[in-house]
Every structure is written in structure tokens, then in C-alpha cells.
Structure 1
Amino acid sequence: MQFQWSAIWDALPVLLDGAKLTLWISILGLIGGAVIGVIAGFARAYGGFISSRIALVFIELIRGTPIMVQVMFIYFALPLMVPIRIDPFGAAVFTIMINSGAYIGEITRGAVLSINNGFREAGLALGLSRRDTLRYVITPLAFRRMIPALGNQWIVSIKDTSLFIVIGVAELTRQGQEVIAGNFRAMEVWTAVAVIYLVITLVLSYILRRMEARLKIL
């Protein structure tokens, strides 16, 4: 079969629309996931018995199940349990939130516990409360160490959005499938889809490396 570049140019506007939705889902999901993960991570590291165990159960439950199962449960099973209806976009964002939140929780826990205990003691010696020491001393240092892992999680989440094809979300992979259904040029379209994913991840990796260098990770 001869490779036709024209098939890629014709499909590019539709594929770029799908790429925009892919990025939008990953960004919204990562913002929510960061909030969930930071809460879960600090609960694991500094919380009491109950909060620590709740965070542990959440983290192990999400990390121990495939993201495909999670999105299917949220989109198909959850509406049968509670009187709500979740649209495909909302289900995709919520799935990324809880999935990334579990991993970010462990990233957060590892980062805050990796900070030398001397920093905490120095903060307390300066008259800061335990909460202020965590907020102004430990957290900024831990955040620097979290950047590489958070960036990797973002890249993983971007690629995970391709699984949401099962619930009809019009992200990049779904748009590629729709284009192929119309022109039957699978080789060209899937090549274009792969290149778009690669460009997105390479650009993101470059930005993260620049951030790491600027913040001088300890």
C-alpha cells in the first residue's frame, strides 16, 4: 500500500481538535489529581491513624485496578448506584483525577518524608508552628523534588486518555478512528496520531527539564 501524505493533511485539523481535547482532559484531571494527591500524601505522612488508613485504602484501591476498569465503572456503574448521570467528558476528567491522585499521593508522601529532619527542626526552632513549618519549609522543598515525578505522571495521563475511546470521548485516538472509518487510510492516520502524541510528550519533557534546571532540584 502506497503511503499517501495527502491523507494526513486532510485529517490533521480533526486530529488537532482531538489533541486539544486530550490536553484539556489531562490538564483538568491533573489539577484535580494534584489536590487529591497532596491531601492523600500528607495524610499518609503526617495524618492520624484514621486519615492515614483512609488515604492508604484509596491509594491501594486505585493503583491496584486498571484505569480502563475505573472509567467503565464511573461511566456505566456509578449512575446505577447514585442518581446522577456523568457525560463522557466528565467521566474522563474524573477518572484522570482519581487515578493520578493516587499516584501523586505516593509521590507527595515520598517527597515530604525525604526532606531532612533538620529542616523541620530548624523551622520549629525559629518559632514556627508545626503547620507553618510544613507549609513554608517542608512543602516548598518537597515540591522541587516532586517535579520530575509529576511531569512523568502528566505524560502517563496524556497517553491514558487514549483509553477513553471506549466511552466515546472525542480525544485524539477517537478522532483518528473516526477519520479512518471515512477514508480507510489506517497507516497514514495512525502514524499521524503517534507523531502528535510524541510531539506533545517531547515538548512537555523539554519544559519540565527547563523547570528542573531553573529550580535547581536538591
Structure 2
Amino acid sequence: MLLVLIVGWLGWLSLFTERYRDAWDRIAVGIGFTIRTTALAFVISLALGLLLALGRISRNVVLRNVARTYIEFIRGVPILPLIFFLALVVVPDVAGWLGFDNRSISTEWRGVIALAIIYGAYIAEVFRGGVQSVPRGQTEAGLSLGLSRRATLRRVIFPQAMRAVIPPLGNDFIAILKDSSLLSVLAVGEVTLRARQYAAGSFRFRESYVVLVFIYVSLVLVLSFALGRIERRLRGGEQPQEAHH
């Protein structure tokens, strides 16, 4: 209840108070940019995380070690230095090796790629944990039916693992949304950069950052509500099985 009152107060200031409304008009145009950047980074990190997870559980020693090294390296470095390193060093270098003009890669895409590479490591562990949460007997049952190891993973293990990984994947989506604010250091035009620019030009720091906080907390609450509904549905689907056991 207290949180609702706080958000309502911030919203009233942002939308119905003249000085705050001016800040809102200047900052809110970046909401679409923030959501797009978050969605793109999340989709790419899902694909990357799945590949890394498959590497982590692979019988191939080389693939396992490469995936493990990647994950531990990414998780061992703070996000902000990684964003600088990936967006300003790795992306231009790789683009050059591939024959592209790195100047043609926008700051938005550099930021998206950086976030995707970073969160791919975290999502890989989510997928790995989900796969390993499925009882080993399910794999043995699939193999006993004549399925290959790959087919067993795809048809038996993954469908069951998805029930376990969807909630933490939702949390990672929210985390990417919040960490997209760090892309303001690359001059990516999301809401944090617009708030900083408005504050620097008008010296209305209170108005700028009240509006910014309202935008982020509103987006996070909406996503958290949606995630909560998904989790309740998943728990509801599990109830008959739990009652049976």
C-alpha cells in the first residue's frame, strides 16, 4: 500500500504539476527507446545464453571449458567497465575483422550488444539450472524409448525445464531494463540520458530525477505484476502433480 502511495505521488507530480510536466515531456520520449533496447538485448541474450548453457552441459570438454570461461569472466567484472570494453573495444574490433565499417554501428546497437553479451552469461546459468532441475530419470526414460541424447534434451528435458526457468528469466528481463540506464554513458538516448541532459540544461535536478524514478518504478512494477501472474499460473499447473506426490 505504501508503495502504491509513493508511486501515485510521483505520478501526480510528474503528470499534473507544471514544472514536473515540462521535465516529463522532455524525458518520457525516451521510454520507447528504453523498452526497445531492453527487448533487443533480452532476445539476443536468450539465444546466447541457451548456446552457452548447452556448452556447459555438453560432454565435449572443450565446449564445456569455453562456456565456463566465458561465464566466469563476464560474471567477474562489474557491468559498467564491461559496457565500455564491449561497446568501445570488442564490437569495433569484431566489426573490423568482419569487414564492416565500425562507424556504421550506432551507439544503440553497441549498447544492445554489450548488454546481450553480459546477460547471456547470467541467462546461461538460468538455463543450466533449469535443465539440471529435471530428474535424471527423465533422461534415462527418453533414451530407453530410443531417442537420441539430443532428441531427449529437446523433446523431454527442455519442456519440463521451461517451467523452472521462466520466472528467473523474467527477473533477468527486469534487470536488463534497469541496467539499460547504464547505456547513458554511451550517449544512448534512453530515459536516463534524457533526464541528465534536461537536468544539465535547466538545472531542475529535482524535477528531472523525480520523473526518471517514476518512469523506472512504473515500468518495473508493470513487469513484476506480469511476472507474478505467470508464476501463479505455473504454480497452479503444478498443484495437481504436487498433490499426487
TM over 0.5: yes
Provide the residue aligned with 1:54 in structure 2: 66
Percent identity of paired positions between Structure 1 and Structure 2: 37
CA separation in 2, counterparts of 1:102 and 1:152?
A: 14
| Aligned CA-pair RMSD | 1.9
1:142 maps to a residue whose letter is A
Q: Does 1:122 align with 2:141?
A: yes
Q: Separation in 2 of the partners of 1:118 and 1:95? A: 39
Larger radius of gyration: 2
* 1:72 counterpart = 2:84: yes
Find 1:204's aligned residue among 193, 202, 223: 223
User: Residue 80 and residue 132 in structure 1: after superposition, are their counterparts in 2 closer, same or farther (change >3 A)?
Assistant: closer
Structure 2: how far apart are the matches of 1:47 and 1:207? 37
Which one is further off, 189-198 or 82-91? 82-91
- Cα deviation for residue 73 of structure 1 reads 1.5
Residues 49-86 of structure 1 show CA distances to partners (whole Å, capped at 9, x for unaligned) of 00010101111111111221122113332336762333
- Residue pairs, 1:140-155, within 5 angstroms: 140-155=159-174
Contact 2:23 2:207 in 1 (8 A): no
Contact 2:167–2:227, Cα closer than 8 Å, also in 1: yes
CA contact (8 A) 2:53 2:128 kept: yes
Larger deviation: 80-89 or 181-190? 80-89
**Could you tell which deviates more after superposition, 51-60 or 14-23?**
14-23
Using the size of structure 1 for normalisation, the TM-score is 0.92
TM-score, normalised relative to structure 2: 0.82
CA distance in 1, matches of 2:36, 2:120: 17
Matched, 1:39 2:58: no
Structure 2 counterpart of 1:51, one-letter code: L
Q: How does 1:1-218 map to 2 (within 5 A)?
A: 5-78=17-90, 79=92, 83=96, 84-85=102-103, 86-216=105-235
1:207/1:47 CA distance change after superposition, 3 Å: farther
Q: Structure 1: any 5+ residue segments left out of the alignment?
A: none
Structure 1 counterpart SS, 2:223: helix
Of 79-88 and 37-46, deviating more is 79-88
| Deviation at residue 132 of structure 1 after TM alignment | 1.4
1:97 is matched by which residue type in structure 2? A
Unaligned runs of 5+ residues in structure 2 are 1-12, 97-101, 239-245
Asked whether the equivalents of residues 67 and 95 of structure 1 are also in contact (C-alpha less than 8 Å), the reply is: no
SS at the partner of 1:51?
helix
Shift, 1:108, TM fit: 1.0
Count of aligned pairs between the two proteins: 216
Q: Deviations over 1:35-59 (max 9, x none)?
A: 0101101210134100010101111
Structure 2: which amino acid aligns with 1:53? N
